Amino acid sequence: MTMTDPHTLTGAYALHALPDDERADFERHLSGCPSCTREVEEFEAAAARLALAASGPVRPAMREEVLHRVGSVRQLTPSTTPAERVRRSKALGAAPARWALAACVAAASVFGGTAVWQWERAQDAQQRAVQAERQASELAGVLAAPDAKSRTVKVAGGTGTVVVSARRDRAVYVSSRMPEPPKGKVYQLWFDDGGTMRNAGLMDPARASQTVLMRGAVDGASGVGLTVEPAGGSARPTTTPLTVLSLPT
């Protein structure tokens, strides 16, 4: 099982780049970690400001530099390493030479396993960095696209804005001051394909304001719907939409 330090997932969480099960695990961590909470809020604010920013070209080498740094960052070591435990046993003289040899073999095995685990963590972090980078790039691309068009409506006491780029065939949904859904429920986005609702992703029930890259292509949809669904989402809407917002043309 690959383990990931939850403190490294704030960016992916803010950009909705985590699978549902990992998102739930991270939210449990988030409830007791003020530093991650502040970092997530900062990422969300930065994502929201992208709608007002102008995009610019990125140096071709930047992606490789970021991925190289992710893979080469030194991992924190345990406070007491297997080698230190072996040296301590030798100093106490508690075991004969054959047991010391066995301990060394065991320590080498554990140390090798630790190295593999750290390598897997680095690989996992690298994959998440690529995914988060792709999500951020796509979200920023839609918001800053020359052909981007938006439409805003009032929803459940807050506001909802959909931004669409026909050239990119993608849409972004920006919510503001949305009330928290009932316990065990979540807001779910849908593309309206001529009266048939197509899943476009979930919103974070704990955030009143957020910016979401909608799942999938616009693909000729006529509008965007928002419903209240059981946690984890539904294959089809189970409640009357809070709104069905016509896409801007």
Distance CA 104, CA 100 (A): 6
Residue 139: what pLDDT?
A: 81
Cα atoms in the Cβ-side hemisphere of radius 13 Å centred on 69: 6
DSSP letter, residue 176: E
Domain extent at residue 81: 6-143
> pLDDT per residue over 94-123, tens digit each?
445 554 445 555 555 544 555 555 555 555
**Same structural domain, 132 and 209:** no
Distance CA 60, CA 88 (A): 51
Distance CA 18, CA 27 (A): 11
**Same structural domain, 110 and 176:** no
**Same structural domain, 237 and 163:** yes
**Same structural domain, 90 and 188:** no
Q: In the predicted model, what is the mean pLDDT of the chain? A: 74
List all residues 6 or more positions away from 150 whose beta carbon is below 8 Å from its beta carbon.
Answer: 161, 162, 163, 164, 248
List all residues 6 or more positions away from 192 whose beta carbon is below 8 Å from its beta carbon.
Answer: 198, 221, 222, 223, 224, 225, 244
User: For 156-164, what is the mean pLDDT?
Assistant: 87
SS3 state at 230 = strand
**Same structural domain, 126 and 168:** no
110 to 94, 152, 225: CA distances (angstroms): 21, 57, 52
* Residue 144, phi then psi, degrees to nearest 5: -100, 5
Element (DSSP H or E) covering residue 206: none
Final residue belonging to a domain, choices 113, 143, 173: 143
**Same structural domain, 34 and 137:** yes
Is residue 58 one of the residues assigned to a domain?
yes
Please check the confidence at residue 237 and state whether its pLDDT lies above 90. yes
Number of structural domains the chain divides into: 2
Tokens 């059981």, residue? 230
> pLDDT per residue over 205-223, tens digit each?
888 888 888 888 988 899 9
**Same structural domain, 31 and 134:** yes
Is residue 137 one of the residues assigned to a domain?
yes
Please check the confidence at residue 126 and state whether its pLDDT lies above 70. no
Is residue 1 one of the residues assigned to a domain?
no
Residue 190: what pLDDT?
A: 92
Residue 120: what pLDDT?
A: 57
The partner residues of 179 in beta bridges, in order of sequence, read none
